[in-house]
Structure formats: structure tokens, C-alpha cells
Structure 1
């Protein structure tokens, strides 16, 4: 028995958001289009009276929402082509190029920008393998980029065969309900009937999670504007961390500091094995950890917030990693809908990879 994905709008297999999410132009945009091209304005406007408020989410933020790629199973006469990804060569699946999905209920992918392996368009489904290998598995290109990053982090390689197997499992109604698919954040707003629901407050679900307007510029500004001659701020990096006065009080009554005899190299090694909250607690117990090495905060971003991969492109000489850590930890969703969606999709991709690991070990039935 197929799940409801079979009977409603085609959706990204990774983030489960429809390819046909719409946006209502603002009055200013309508006036501008009226002045330039009435036909183009009509194409922008909603057809069924529904869409996200354009004053809340911009066209740039929603870039790619109706674009898809597919996985297809290789035919018996499959021949590798120049430009194939490494993970395609050894798998039973291959990737199509990009296409713009043209309708909410149709099974057609739309025409791909270029022909790959003789495929110019495909039938798409979110259901299990009952349709056969010639039916493509659709996903947003940006969501697939996040899936690849999670795969490399968790598995060491991109497992598209595993993604195909998980689709077959997640397409079964009984299994998908048991493993929380689709995720609650989407299920609440899109799965009570066959259409996507543009409910206020859920605009972030349609925001591009990779190409996020303003985010790279914000990081560059934080990096470039730092005065490297000033003393960096190395406050404890986690919620509930002690203040300077609390730390001093605890240390003066705690007796001998057992860490004071350790060399700096070993102290650093200890820090690298702890979470931010553990580091904060350690600073309560030991004066030896009052000053933290700046690079530690970059390490914490990588380990605790791996979805902020842009930090690797920042100038290490001009970046206050402690300030950046605190900004990302507390204010990452402020005004940047794509970042909120990126974190959501990253966690969904982690669940998919966990399922892939289970199928690889024969644990999923």
C-alpha cells in the first residue's frame, strides 16, 4: 500500500516539501510588473488563491523550490559518461540533470536542462519500488547537496543506492508512519489533504537551504570587521555557562587545581574531546581553563553545528571564533529563513543516513 505521497503533489524525497510551493507578489512588485509586463505578472500570481506572503519571503529566498533532479536506476546497457560523479560510477543508480516541475499532480518531471545517459525527462514518484526502476526519485538539488555532505560526514562516501532503498521503505505506509515520515514540521501543514498549505509561519520550509541571501556576506563582515589587535573574547561557549565572578568564586573554594600541573598541550587535548557545556562546567572546576584557545570555538562550530560549512572559507587571522560561535548558536535564524530550513533538512538527512546504515547492516525489515 502506498502512502499519501502517491496521491498528492510530488515532493522532494529528502525534505518532503512540494515542488509547487507558491509566493504572492507584494503590491510594490505587482505595480512594477504591471508597468513592465502584464503577462509576466499573471504568471507570477497564484492560480488557486494560495501562496506565501511575498513580504515575508522573497523570490530570491525561494530560488529553486520548483527545481528538481532525479535518481534513476541504471538500465542493463548503461554506459558511463564524462561528467559522472564518483558515487554514480559504482552504484546501481544515476543522476539526471535539473528540471522545472510544471504541475502539482502530474507524474512528469519536466524537461531536463541537458540529456544525461539518454534521459531528457522522466516519470517521478515518492512511492516505493512498485512503479519500477524507470520511475525517478525526485529531490531539490539543494537538499541533495545537504544529503551528500551528511553522507560524507557519517559514511565517508555518498550512498545513492542506500537513498533508493530508503525511499522504497519510506514509501510504505506502515513503515513511514512508524519512523516519523514525513517529519512533523511538514506533516502539520501539507498532509491533511492533497495540496500544499501556505500557512503563516511556515515560510522557512520553502527557503533555499544552501543559497541563502545575505548569509555569506554576514560571515564575511564578521570576519573582515574584527580588529585583530584587540584582546579576543573567550567567554564560556554554552548556555548556562558560569560568569567570571561565579567561576572565580568556585575556584577559590575548591582547593587544589589538579589540572594546574598538566602541560598546555594536554589541556588542549582535553578541551578537544568535550562538548561546549562540558567545557563550561570544567571552567567552574579549574582555573587552568579560564582562557580558551580561539581555535577551539571553530572546532565547536564544526562538531556541534556542522551545517555551517561556510566557516572554512573565513580568514582565520581576522575572525573572532568565540564571537562567531555565540552568534551562530543564538542568532542564526534571525531574519534568515534559509538557515532555519538548512538545520531542519540537515537533521532529516541525518535520519535518512541512519536508515541507510541500518539497511546496510540488514537491521531494517
Structure 2
């Protein structure tokens, strides 16, 4: 199930969402006050904002969305109008026109600001600086397990503390919005001969889409349960703006498996594409779907060997277990990872060599200060030539190498290039360490945007098209639209570490030291393991006869 985040103090109001993609407001009745008082939680008191102020109130709800029956919004005639015998028609028309203008001003403001949530509920389209869009709020720490007096429950909002483990939400203290970007984004593999599908190239196609039987749908913000409406997707690729998808075929006798789309995160599909290119030298979508269709029952789905943290969270409702925030972290674009890796790269003028020693031995305590020559044990490995020593460590893992360095002074100093093998062996999912010739891969444009990004782009483009059409009647406005509203789908340049100029010992140790903060890498490792299992099953079924 899609997850939600509980915002931290100072974050904008829309930095939280529930499993439906809407902003939850009344969480205070769902929390354990005694528990929260022990974990640094607080409550926010909301003060009324300037009512109906389109400019100052970012939470103002336009009249068409307001459920409160106003006099001017109904068929009611005022007593003054009746008593004076006035015709209320023109006034109603004027009020309606002004209401439409205000609503349009409001929507225009939203489209030019950083808060599109009132138009497009779901994952926020962007992350502004924390000082933007602050709520008008006062925060009371929950120190006694009691709510502040003088406020109703409707006026209060729960703000999770640093150690709060509320199962209803991931805390903004423990994972940032940037790290979660795309966690609600879903996409689907659809067969070109599926009902109502009318696939045509649209300029956004992957090479395998042009030649294969399957294509990628537009993006969806979250996926509902099976008993809800099909997922809305944008843009409507293949002529489909709604997709029926499932992980299980409940009626295999009458339901053609190819007619059921396959749901996934664009993150996961990108990792599949990388590993597929390594193993098959192409994106093996046909093999993927053959495996899916072969293991398409409920028992097959449950039997797939998933990560234990996923199994614990994947209940009827997603359980946001404390310490498992990495499950919703973006594995492709990991905050601070590039800067961490680039710090290990040397410029050509540095005269760096992968053969230099990894360790600074100048501060070690010399054995001569502790042991006499007679007391020092003989180091039988000291007589080995350098080539043989390096050959030996080439078979050892990191822990064995550490033990060997403690056991023999001969192995105290080792070249930094040795850790390249350890990085490749122990971190196969760190494609930043791959050679450029190993896997020619550019991430799909769909990995860089969310469903909200795409919908907002479409709405902005429609808005500007309407304005420009009035100003430049009869002219071609497409070039202006491309300039004013450029496509949000741009793929960042991929970092590839130069093997000869990288201190691989630092790469290895920095990732290990910062592992708890690199939640996206943790999720990448988890997804990589799942995809390796899928690849193994694709290979298995590739030798079977249909």
C-alpha cells in the first residue's frame, strides 16, 4: 500500500500525505498521548487564516469545492430582494461571474506557486526551502501526555518527535521528502493488444517498446485496492488514461493473463532494466512477462522470497515500522551520494595511483616499542613476494583481510585498488562503480518525475495555451509553450567513477560509515536482490516450452 509521511516542524503543510494521497489533518485522535510524550512529539495549534483570501491563504478552498451552502451559491433569494421586488437574476449572474474569476485567480496562483496540492492531491510535485509555506501554527510539546487546554481536537495536529514510532506514518525526522521522492509513483506494463489499447509511438518510447509486444503506461499517484476504480494515469499513453492491473490472476480459466497490466515502481523497473542488460544484453520484457504469467496465482505471489521488512509492513494497511523508512527511499537518486563518491576521486594532476597504500601507518604504535626482538613472534608470511601476497588477499573478503592485517605486519599496508574488487563483490548494485562498457544504460524519463509532476505539467501547458491562444490568434504557439512550460522529464547525468583516479578504499569505507543515512542505497540493495531472483526465474522459464 502507498505510504505517507508525517511532517517535521518547519516543513510545509503539504509535506505529509495519507495512503490515499490526500493531506491528513485530524491525526490527533489516532495517537497514544502517553507514548508520544516520551518520544519528543508535539501538537500544532492551527489558527484561522484570512478567510477567502486567495493571496495570503494557501489553504483557501474555492467555492466549487466548498461543501458549506452559502446564500449566494444557492437558489435562495434574500429577504431584501423579495421585499423590494428586485429581480435577483442579474445579481446572481454577477456573483457567479466574480466567483468564477476568483476561482481562476486562485488556480492561476497555485499553478505559479510551489503548492499544487489543492489541485492535485498526492505526492508533492516539488520540495521548496523549508522556510517557504510555513503554516500559521504554534507548537506545544507533549510532555505530560495531555493535550493543551482551550483547543478542540479539530484545531490540533500531531507532529512526530525524533523517536516516534507511530505505525500510521513515517516521520519527517527520520526520512526527508527528497529521499522519498517518487515513493507513490506507479507505472504499468500493458500489452499492445489489450482491450481499448491503441498504442502508437509518441516520442517518449523506449527502444524495446517500439519492437516488443508491451509498452509503458503513464504514471499513477498510488494504486488503490482491487475493489476500487482502475488507476488513473497521465499521460494517457496507448490511448489509456485508466489501467486495470494486478499481481494475481484470480480467474485464469477465463481471464487472459496478457490482458492484465503489471504494476511496479519506475525505480524497480529501472533496476530490472540494468540487470537485464547485464545478463541478457537487452531489456528482456518478454521474459519478464512470461515469468509473471507463469507465476500469476495468489500462492505464487505469496511464495516469492521477499525481504522480511517488506513482509512485516505489507499488511492490509502498510505498517510504517520504525527503522524501516528505507523501504520508501528513492534508490536511483540518493541525496548526498554523489557528493560522497566524488570526494573520493582525484584530479589527474594529483598523480594519484591505485597502487598507493590505503592506510596511514605513521600513527600506529610500533612493535619495537612494545616487544623485543626475542619476544616478537615470527611472521612467516613476510618472505612472500608482493605478487603472491596480493594474490592471496584477492580471494579474501573484507573481514578476513582485516584479520590478516592484525595477524601479519606484512599485510598492514595494502593498495587502495584492492578495494575495487571488494566494492564490486560486496556492492554489485553500486553501478556508479561499473565500467562504462559494462552496461550502456540511461534511466527512463519516468524515473525522474512523479504523477503529480506530469499532471501539473499538463495543466500548466493547457493554461498557457489558453492564454496564448487569446493573444496570438491564428499563430503557432507550440514553440512558445515549449519555452514557457518545458518538459519536466530530464534525466540527470549519471555518475561513473573513474577506476584509475578513485580511492576505492574511501568509497568502501564511506559507504559503510554512512550506511544508516544512505536509505536510498539500502533500498537499492533490497530491490537488487529481488530482481536477481526474478532474473533467475526468467532464465529458468526461458528453457521451458509454452
TM-score, structure 2 as length reference: 0.50
Which digits, 9 at most, give the CA deviation of each residue in 1:258-299, with x for residues without a partner? xx3x9x6x987x579745359838889999977655434224
Number of aligned positions between the proteins = 323
Paired residues for 1:198-237 under 5 Å: 198-223=320-345, 228=350, 232-234=356-358
Q: 2:171 aligns with which of 31, 41, 53?
A: 53
Q: Does 1:304 align with 2:431?
A: no
Post-superposition CA distance 1:173-207 (Å, at most 9, x none): 33334443x4422111222xx21112222211111
Change (3 A) 1:276 1:101: same
1:28 match: secondary structure: coil
Question: Shift of residue 356 of structure 1?
Answer: 1.0
Please report how far the alpha carbon of residue 120 of structure 1 lies from its aligned counterpart in structure 2 after TM superposition.
3.1
Q: Report the Cα distance in structure 1 between the residues aligned to 2:178 and 2:497, rounded to whole angstroms.
A: 24
TM-fit CA distance, 1:339: 1.3
Aligned position for 1:25:
7
CA shift, 1:254, in A, is 5.1
Determine if contact 2:218/2:233 at 8 Å carries over to the other structure: no
| Structure that is richer in helix per residue | 1
Larger RCO (alpha carbons 8 Å, 6+ apart): 1
Gaps spanning 5+ residues in structure 2: where? 16-45, 50-56, 61-114, 123-156, 159-166, 360-364, 368-375, 435-495
- Deviation at residue 342 of structure 1 after TM alignment: 1.0
Check the 8 A contact 2:217/2:233 in 1, yes or no.
no
Quickly say closer, same or farther: Cα 1:164–1:244, change in 2 above 3 A.
farther
Cα distance change, pair 162–282 in 1 and its aligned pair in 2 (3 A) = farther
TM-score, normalized by length of structure 1?
0.71
Per the TM alignment, residue 151 of structure 1 is displaced from its structure 2 partner at its CA by 1.5
Unaligned runs of 5+ in 1: 1-17, 236-242
Structure whose alpha-carbon radius of gyration is higher: 2
In 2, are the aligned partners of 1:205 and 1:341 still within 8 Å (CA)? yes
SS at match of 1:150: helix
Cα 1:90–1:253 change in 2 (3 A) is same
* Alignment partners' CA distance in 1, 2:377 and 2:207: 55
- Structure 1 residue aligned with 2:524, among 324, 342, 351? 342
Q: Which of the residues 353, 358, 362 maps onto 2:540?
A: 358
Contact 1:69 1:139 in 2 (8 A): yes
| Distance verdict in 2 for CA 1:62–1:272, change over 3 Å | same
Give the drift of 1:323. Answer: 2.0
Query: Are the structure 2 counterparts of residues 334 and 50 from structure 1 closer, same or farther at C-alpha, using a change threshold of 3 Å?
Result: closer
Distance verdict in 2 for CA 1:316–1:197, change over 3 Å: same
C-alpha distance after superposition, 1:127-152 (max 9, x if no partner):
13844323311111111111111222
- The CA distance in 1 between the partners of 2:351 and 2:275, in whole Å, is 37
State the partner residue of 1:37.
58
Equivalent residues in 2 for 1:142-221, closer than 5 Å: 142-180=267-305, 182-191=306-315, 194-221=316-343
Corresponding residue SS for 1:71: strand
Counterpart contact for 1:122–1:136, Cα < 8 Å: yes
Alignment partner of 1:75 out of 188, 193, 196: 193
Alpha-carbon distance in 2 for matches of 1:66, 1:149 = 22
Q: Distance in 1 between matches of 2:433 and 2:410?
A: 28
Moved more, 282-291 or 35-44: 282-291
Please say if residues 148 and 158 of structure 1, whose CA atoms lie closer than 8 Å, have aligned partners that are also in contact: yes
Q: How much does 1:221 deviate? A: 2.7
